[in-house]
Structure 1
């Protein structure tokens, strides 16, 4: 059975999809509210509670024009400023507090036989997630769209011989603070990832794209030191094992269009708009 947060997010995502599909017609609040089976008053209040802004303001963050402006800023030293200060107005840039440690061959040799993995399920503003950790950090996070059993099986596919415990640990709890919009409570998040040196380099570069910021595959490839390998960079982005924490949702087309996402384009739109609203609130 879905939780109320999951039900609310489903409605929000449906509304965002409706807005995007019918943007040229400029649908009114009443039309969108009817589409998600809510009264205009209830829908407006629910949306603002979720995003911190009105549906109309949120949609502006998802426009091609807004995305292009963000991409221009990326070339105007916003990227470097974020790295130097570690601050975004009154809120800390969570990305700078995420550290990646690659697994050694011995740690995942023979299907993870040397690993103890704790896992749990949690509700987020974008639907339920499964989060898993070793003693060194988060090794997996994914949105649960096809049931908890399938979500767990995916981890076991990656580490079939690890020992699994359904247990919420401090490593997981700290990582989940990422969804609270109160990053002042956020300590350093550690990731313990299985990947090639190239993949880990791309993921580390992705972490330097600040919340509310966007980048393109070509730009990401250049910053990762592989300027002519943007297709390989795209593959590395697509193989990201830690949803949201490694922000592959911030990679968009050079045209300013949001593009596709492993976890669905509606969810990508929701995350980008949510982060943009949060950035505006602390500047």
Structure 2
């Protein structure tokens, strides 16, 4: 028997295990697609999740199709960091399509307004928001060099030996950081939040978020950092309803990563990290 739960200003039934199973199968496909590089298994999990949703909840099916569409589009290319012209064009086209396709289907086929990109909230940042951003700066500055330089994870990115590569890295890091919030938070999290309590939707979106980052290069013990970050981004978006704020947090984090990667390949540059273990 289900019980009412408050969600997005309306009363909904608390999700049953089979509805949660359908969503879990679709999002866990990201582990196979991006983490394990097993495309057939990933696609099979997506199909299984959609079949379960078709049996138990047609509205959930519609929204899982949108998430699946984005995942399939992303899976058509390698996510390994590459700063060549061809790779940057490929990233731009593919990742843009992964956002545009679910948005277009939702807005003009389903005639829904669930996927939005809330920019103008009209609210000033609170003390909490300024404080959290400061915490991100301090925490990122102290912890990230230990991970990237100590574990050798920086080698998952190509050599950065000149001004051209540094500029390309800066563009790539910031573009992907912005895209992360558009897809994982504004699409995946928003769609899941329409059906599940916050904590469940947030855990589900974090699986996709972290799997993508793993293939991108955050390997080794990287998930110990990316899992909390993904969960916190979901929480911050739920609390602030502000895309600019979560993007600011993400790009602040990425600015530190950019500096670490530049320093990793050019020790004389950006030599400001006191926790550099090398």
Normalised by the size of structure 1, how large is the TM-score?
A: 0.27
- Give the number of the structure whose residues are more often helix, by fraction: 2
Task: Give the strand-richer structure, 1 or 2.
Answer: 1
TM-score by length of 2: 0.27
